[in-house]
Amino acid sequence: MVRGVAGFLLAVAVLWAQNDCSHCDRKYDNAAFMIGKDRAISVGGDRALMINKPENLSVIAYNRFLNLYLIQSKDRKNLVEFKYPFTEKQMTLFNEKGFKDVELIKRQCGLRSFGEIDQKVKDFSILSGMCCKSFGLVSTNGKVIDSEYIKDFLKRQDALYGDIGLRFDDKMRVEYIDPYIAPQIEKGAKIQGFETLRDLEDRILFAKPGSSVKLRYEDSSGKIRTTHFSVKQRFGGGMVSDSFLERFGILFSDDLRIVWINPESKARKAGLKVGDLLKNIDLHEVSTPEEVKTFLTDTPKDRYNYMWERKGFYFFVAL
């Protein structure tokens, strides 16, 4: 008898979940529309989010760290509200192909790392939980963008994040130090007073440039210190490279080739172009953004000589 009741309840739960997903699928399908070959997701009024820049449409704001375009469109659809923090692991993925169950295996941590799910995704998708709660977006590279970062972007309509020149390891110890900001702290110092690394990352990320952030940390001697760090503008991380050189108006591929350059930047005025490959710093060979950060951290100074390669020609640029 008990086994029969349990089976009945399980069947009801499965049926309810299927109906709930179908309801959400209709809701999200009504919130999405195509602009050319790209999918847009309505976020209210005449605003929508895309991951590719649309042609002949007004771009309200672009967040290169999340690779999200906030656009203005006349296609008014049901909106998707990104107001729920992640509270579940078992979720449902919705895109133009339908829906399927997925498991969240990692949450986004500031611009340090994005969230991950247990399946590969190549379509711009909505990640949802029970009762059609929208927890985030999944980009075409499979990276999960948390609703809290989306909500902040929609509210501020800019990508002006804070940076104090520090990058941390998983245990909240200082791993890299930006010499161009030169915060007064040693490598290996362990930050205190934060429950998670994400809390620490967000405290800095959402601080306004020009303000200060107070951090308590344990130094190499075991002494607890408190320091106010000046907040500067963040230039790297998230969907773009994070080598500490992005401040000069350049973005890198994983092998340190310039993939984008600001035409008004110091780097461009120094003669650098898209396609140039960074080979070494002060004659020290580097091949990844992490190796750049490691060298700059271990050899702090105001200026470095960077050697570049362009179609077999090698040249130096001081920055």
Cα–Cα nearest to 124, from 86, 166, 80, 84: 80
The class of domain 20-156 in CATH terms is: mainly beta
- Domain spans of the chain, in order of start: 20-156, 162-233, 246-318
**Residue-by-residue pLDDT tens, the chain, 319 positions:** 445 545 544 443 444 344 456 767 666 777 788 888 888 998 887 899 999 998 888 899 999 999 999 998 776 666 777 766 666 788 888 888 888 999 999 999 999 999 999 999 889 999 987 667 788 999 999 999 999 999 999 999 999 999 999 999 999 999 999 999 998 999 999 999 999 999 999 999 999 999 999 999 999 999 999 999 999 999 999 999 999 999 999 999 999 999 999 999 999 999 999 999 999 999 999 999 999 999 999 999 999 999 999 999 999 999 9
How far apart, in Å, are the Cα atoms of 291 and each of 81, 85, 164, 242? Answer: 40, 34, 20, 11
Same fold? 20-156, 162-233: no
CA angle (103, 105, 106) in 5-degree steps:
135
> How many C-alpha atoms does 130 have within 13 Å on its Cβ side?
8
Q: Dihedral angle at the C-alpha atoms of 287, 293, 296, 297, nearest 10 degrees?
A: -140
pTM beyond 0.85: the answer is yes
Q: What are phi and psi of 69, to 5 degrees?
A: -100, 130
Measure the CA–CA gap between 166 and 189, rounded to whole angstroms. 11
Topology classification of domain 162-233: Pdz3 Domain (2.30.42)
Topology classification of domain 246-318: Pdz3 Domain (2.30.42)
Give residues with Cβ within 8 angstroms of 38, minimum separation 6: 50, 51, 52, 54, 124
